[in-house]
């Protein structure tokens, strides 16, 4: 996968892209990152990329000329263009998995009060990471990159993300490792039993328990069998 990121703060995103699993994926050639400084297309001696909004109001708006100059070549090269915008569709597991199917993504990061509306004619989708506003689109772009790149073949073991929270519609079950006992807290005996069927059953039930306690809204969107319903009733929860 090729990922282009358009920003006025390239140093803000370049460091994390070379770190940990994402950095190793790049080193292995599984993903190719290019960070574009929007100010390379800025106007005038100060390479300006923003101006006051028509109609008045607080803040500055990013001008269309630099954005078009930076994004159009990426779109022409076949990139799926994503505008990072708090008004966009919310990133979730399903959309991350769909984005991971593209060979080329271009992520456009805003700043200031927002974008000139005309930039939206260049993008394929607008994505938010939550119902809140940050000072710019760089951190959301990094969140999207992390969510997507880890799903690419060869980046991590497929089994690792198959059991992730939201992958099955449920939150992930609890995890334990050595030591078996720590400060009088012990690992559930079933995980030490070697009985794979019982371990799978325990994990399913604990995922149901955690989801019912923390995100009960998720339970209405997944298929629950008779055993699931029986377990949820046993802990005092009855999905609608």
Q: What positions carry a catalytic annotation?
A: 86, 113, 150, 164
- CA-CA distance, 143 to 140, in Å (whole number)? 5
List of residues 6+ apart from 97 with CB closer than 8 A: 151
List of residues 6+ apart from 85 with CB closer than 8 A: 110, 114, 115, 126, 127, 128, 137
* Alpha carbon distance, N-terminus to C-terminus of the chain: 41
Residue 107 · residue 145 · CB < 8 Å: yes
The distance from CA 31 to its chain's CA centroid, rounded to whole angstroms, is: 16
- CA-CA distance, 103 to 182, in Å (whole number)? 46
């Amino acid at each position: 996968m090729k990922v282009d990121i358009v920003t006025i703060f390239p140093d803000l995103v370049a460091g994390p892209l070379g770190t940990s699993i994402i950095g190793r994926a790049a080193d292995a050639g599984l993903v190719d990152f290019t960070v574009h400084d929007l100010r390379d297309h800025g106007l005038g001696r100060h390479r300006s990329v923003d101006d006051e909004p028509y109609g008045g109001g607080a803040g500055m708006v990013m001008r269309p000329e630099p954005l078009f100059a930076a994004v159009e070549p990426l779109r022409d090269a076949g990139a799926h263009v994503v505008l990072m915008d708090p008004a966009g569709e919310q990133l979730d597991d399903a959309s991350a998995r769909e984005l991971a199917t593209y060979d080329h993504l271009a992520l456009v990061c805003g700043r200031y009060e927002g974008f000139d509306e005309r930039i939206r004619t260049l993008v394929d989708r607008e994505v938010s990471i939550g119902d809140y506003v940050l000072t710019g689109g760089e951190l959301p772009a990094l969140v999207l990159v992390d969510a997507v790149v880890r799903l690419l073949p060869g980046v991590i073991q497929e089994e690792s993300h198959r059991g992730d929270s939201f992958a099955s519609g449920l939150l992930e079950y609890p995890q334990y490792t050595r030591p078996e006992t720590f400060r009088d807290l012990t690992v559930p005996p079933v995980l030490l039993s070697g009985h794979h069927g019982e371990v799978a059953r325990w994990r399913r039930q604990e995922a149901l328990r955690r989801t019912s306690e923390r995100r009960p809204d998720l339970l209405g969107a997944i298929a629950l069998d008779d055993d699931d319903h029986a377990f949820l009733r046993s802990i005092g929860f009855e999905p609608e």
